[in-house]
Structure formats: C-alpha cells, structure tokens
Amino acid sequence: MQVVKEQIMRALTTKPSSLDQFKSKLQNLSYTEILKIRQSERMNQEDFQSRPILELKEKIQPEILELIKQQRLNRLVEGTCFRKLNSRRRQDKFWYCRLSPNHKVLHYGDLEESPQGEVPHDSLQDKCLPICCDWERLPTYEGERSS
C-alpha cells in the first residue's frame, strides 16, 4: 500500500495537466522503479556515507568476500544436476557435475534420472577434467579481485 501511495504522490508532484499524463506517469513509476528510487535515496543519505559506516564496511569486506568465495566453492563441491537434451530436443536424461573436495578435478557424467541426494563419487570417476586454477585470484562480486 505504501508503494501505491508513493507512486501517486510522485506522479502528482510532476503536476500533470491531464488524466492521461497522470496515468502515463503512474505506469512509468512501477513497483521496481519505486524500489530503485528508495534504494538510491537511502544510499544518498549522510548516514551511509558517514566515517564510522565506511570504516566498518572496509573492515568487514575481506571477511565477507572470503565467505562468499567459500560458499561458491562449497556449492561447486556439492554438485549440480542439469537436464540433457537429446537429438529430438527431449529432456529425458540428466548430466551431473561437481568439483572434487580438493578443488582440482571436475567430475561429470550422465544419469538416467534426477539424483535423490548425493551422487556417489565412483559413478563419476570415469569422466573427470583436471583443472588448474588459482582459487585465491578468482574474481569476486562487482568484478573485483581478491588479493
């Protein structure tokens, strides 16, 4: 309800000269647009640009980036099942891929049905792809590189 109220208030501040202009402005102020406006207004507030907040952000950023990296690696080690298209574009088989616990090999293979739980390592041993990757230098969010 607050979003609708804000849409109307913002549309009225432009002082539309006709009902059609008012409706047009309302359509331009979608729910997502209002959320974007709110987010930018919050970020522009002085509280978020204050020295203590910036210092705290700088202090916890390396820890958060490390946590993100570990979560991503854990998800790769856990593995994922994909639907496999056959020559007639039917999705009747599955393809599974996971990173080895030592982060050095990708194990993959075909499955007849979607796995219920963990896929045994020995069922994927015949198909593996060694990888050489410096996990410490992987890009993090926003294109930054961890050092």
Residue 57 included in any domain: no
CATH code at position 107: 2.30.29.30
Please give the span between the terminal C-alpha atoms of the chain, in angstroms, as a whole number.
46
The confidence score (pLDDT) of residue 91 equals 67
User: Are 17 and 69 in the same domain?
Assistant: no
Beta-ladder partners of 108: 97
The per-residue pLDDT for range 43-95, each reduced to its tens digit, is: 777 667 778 888 998 999 999 999 999 999 999 988 888 887 777 776 677 88
User: Are 25 and 67 in the same domain?
Assistant: no
Residue 19 included in any domain: yes
Residue 15 included in any domain: yes
Q: In this structure, what token pair is assigned to residue 43?
A: 């970020």
The per-residue pLDDT for range 6-56, each reduced to its tens digit, is: 888 888 888 888 888 888 888 888 888 888 888 888 777 766 777 888 899
The confidence score (pLDDT) of residue 88 equals 73
Residue 143 included in any domain: no
The confidence score (pLDDT) of residue 136 equals 65
> How much of the chain, in percent, has pLDDT values that exceed 70?
79
User: Are 33 and 9 in the same domain?
Assistant: yes
The confidence score (pLDDT) of residue 120 equals 67
What are the φ and ψ backbone dihedral angles of 107, each rounded to 5 degrees? Answer: -100, 135
Taking the C-alpha atoms of residue 134 and residue 97, their distance in angstroms, rounded to an integer, is: 20
The confidence score (pLDDT) of residue 147 equals 40
User: Are 36 and 66 in the same domain?
Assistant: no
Residue 144 included in any domain: no
Q: What is the dihedral of CA 66, 69, 75, 78, to 10 degrees?
A: -70
Res 103 pLDDT > 70: yes
| 1: helix, strand or coil | coil
Taking the C-alpha atoms of residue 113 and residue 94, their distance in angstroms, rounded to an integer, is: 6
Q: What letter represents residue 142's amino acid?
A: E
Give how many domains the chain has, as a whole number. Answer: 2
User: Are 102 and 126 in the same domain?
Assistant: yes
- Grade residue 102 by pLDDT with cuts at 50, 70 and 90: confident
The stretch 86-112 carries a mean pLDDT of 80
User: Are 72 and 28 in the same domain?
Assistant: no
Nearest to 11 by CA among 39, 33, 41: 33
Residue 145 included in any domain: no
Taking the C-alpha atoms of residue 29 and residue 26, their distance in angstroms, rounded to an integer, is: 5
Residue 111 included in any domain: yes
Q: Residue 44: which domain range?
A: 1-49
Residue 141 included in any domain: no
Its pTM stands at: 0.52
User: Are 82 and 121 in the same domain?
Assistant: yes
